[in-house]
Structure 1
């Protein structure tokens, strides 16, 4: 395809040939033919210099947090017998834009590497590629383009903050004084309570006297000493968040999850309706990837989601991150709260949490207002529901 310069040369050649036909001046014919020949040679050049060349891409690292730098390196190989001239590489990043790189020349049968730096400002799962490669002839009259190379994925995790303090939950030994809590198992299992049978429970733990009395299978619930458990819920309902508040809630959920998970909690996460269990393979990366991709949900019924988790947790900490607290959230917390020893409610909103008549479960609550940090919000709860270590 002609470039802008090529269209000009082609138009001039056609005009000179037309003047030769009208006026019969041989000079018009000579110059017009010379320009037409240049266009023909340029066309032949770009036909030989095929831009459909092998391209690879290296993304380092493939998982980053908001504001971190990513180095993307494109490697282009020229297998053709002629040099590639005037090369333009356009690498697209869906949802962000594109990166354009220019190379003056790639010799025949040679390989070049083109690095560029990207600083993603927003969390998300981004598709990187494919690459559009364009080459021109030495005079810049013709251009030829092709799309190639792989499509890679860049995952941008939400930004997190360092939090201090840990919930005091059933299973921790408050007599141990250390710089951080220890949650390793130190023995067998302790009898904790009796509960209803659930599909998959070990039938050897059926408590037959209670089963006979209640006429339904009842299971002895055991608890491993010194082992803290928890569930983190991110309320993704669109109606309780504004755009900035939703992003703040996602960062708060990520900060709380990493803080507790690194402390040794067996922590499940409910991101909207996506339940990620602590026993799942690589749960930390799964949770962070879910938080990178999560968007406000206009059709989420929080009450129905949490009802499915009823009595799956006995003891431990429930951490709920939301926007404005409403009746549906209150009913959800009241449904799950009795299963936990500690309930923490964190709100990312422009309005502080007021009276919560719909929540009948003892809990500690705090709001992260615009301009505040989650570290400060978490710290304000210190002493209400947990000890700081």
Structure 2
């Protein structure tokens, strides 16, 4: 395949030969013939040896969130016995243009590595590849391209803050106090020890067999039930958000998912009426959040209460505390569930639920700290870069 310089050289050869023939100028005919021979030789040179490369690709780190940067590492092997010319590699990246790399000549069966930096600007599935390898002759007249390898996909998780969930007995702030009160108000179910009966003890906790062998009544002591499960419901009704507001909502939901996973809680994620992941894990939940979008459907589904032992947190991430999603959920909460409303558009409310103000990133961090008495680490603003660049 001729390059732009190759077509220019071919045109020069034709014009020179034509003028030389019309006016009888032998030198121009010789010049045209020589340039034409150079073009032909360049085509033969670039097509004589096929580009026989094998490529393996690795993305480091494996898991990204919006605002991070990854390093794409290539391991390229020349599968031919003969050497290669210098190669230009280009890899297209969705929404980022592409990355151009230069590869030095490879001997037969030689392996080389090269990298480029991949900024993850937005959440979602990012596709890149296949890699295009191009070889040119030394004069830049002719080139040959070949697709090498296949496409590759990575999921960019939503940007999220590092929240700390209070425990049932060790938390602080209004939320921690509520969990402690709920925990102490329950009998628990994990045996701890026996002690003598005291006035006011629950008669159901008397251990009759041990009491029969003792002069006093013995009472079972049990550990208070701790925080065991967490449900995060993301309202994806388009009427509740601006585009920026929905991204804050996804980020808030991802923050809650990461906090629940870090605390070892049984995790459930609900997105609108389409997605309900029960007993899920961090990767599956983050992948669902990375690819979610708004819908025009009005959220009227009543979320069935989880049937699980111990205390539970239920996050409802929505536009305002007065949304349909909150109203539909409230009647279905169990006595062991503590409701937290994360409002991303408006905080006006007449309810007495725990509420987190997520109308801005700063207010989300501050509101969470006020509610729990713990610090939330705020994510840095994603870099605004238009395309991937190589290292």
Same fold by TM-score greater than 0.5 = yes
Question: What's the C-alpha RMSD, in Å, of the aligned pairs?
Answer: 3.0
Q: Quote the residue 2:292 is aligned against.
A: 294
Is residue 95 of structure 1 aligned with residue 99 of structure 2?
A: no
Quick one: distance in 2 between partners of 1:136 and 1:312? Answer: 66
TM-score (norm 2): 0.75
Q: Quote the residue 1:341 is aligned against.
A: 337
Moved more, 151-160 or 334-343: 334-343
- Contact 2:344–2:359 (8 Å) recurs in 1: yes
Q: Quote the residue 1:210 is aligned against.
A: none
Moved more, 60-69 or 332-341: 332-341
Is residue 381 of structure 1 aligned with residue 371 of structure 2?
A: yes
Moved more, 127-136 or 68-77: 68-77
Is residue 353 of structure 1 aligned with residue 348 of structure 2?
A: yes
Q: Quote the residue 1:328 is aligned against.
A: 324
Q: Quote the residue 2:212 is aligned against.
A: none
Quick one: distance in 2 between partners of 1:185 and 1:63? Answer: 38
- Contact 2:299–2:325 (8 Å) recurs in 1: yes
Is residue 303 of structure 1 aligned with residue 324 of structure 2?
A: no
TM-score (norm 1): 0.75
How far the C-alpha of 1:326 sits from its partner, in A, is 4.7
SS in 1 for 2:252: helix
Quick one: distance in 2 between partners of 1:131 and 1:291? Answer: 29
How far the C-alpha of 1:28 sits from its partner, in A, is 2.2
Unaligned runs of 5+ in 1: 176-183, 189-223, 357-361, 384-389
Note closer, same or farther for the CA distance 1:225–1:325 as it changes in structure 2 (3 Å cut).
closer
Q: Which runs of 4+ in 1 moved over 6 A?
A: none
- Contact 1:310–1:339 (8 Å) recurs in 2: no
Q: Quote the residue 1:197 is aligned against.
A: none
How far the C-alpha of 1:115 sits from its partner, in A, is 0.8
- Higher relative CO (Cα under 8 Å, sequence separation at least 6) belongs to 2
Quick one: distance in 2 between partners of 1:13 and 1:104? Answer: 32
Aligned length: 329
SS in 2 for 1:251: helix
Q: Quote the residue 1:32 is aligned against.
A: 32
- Contact 2:316–2:342 (8 Å) recurs in 1: yes
How far the C-alpha of 1:72 sits from its partner, in A, is 0.5
How far the C-alpha of 1:8 sits from its partner, in A, is 1.2
How far the C-alpha of 1:38 sits from its partner, in A, is 0.7
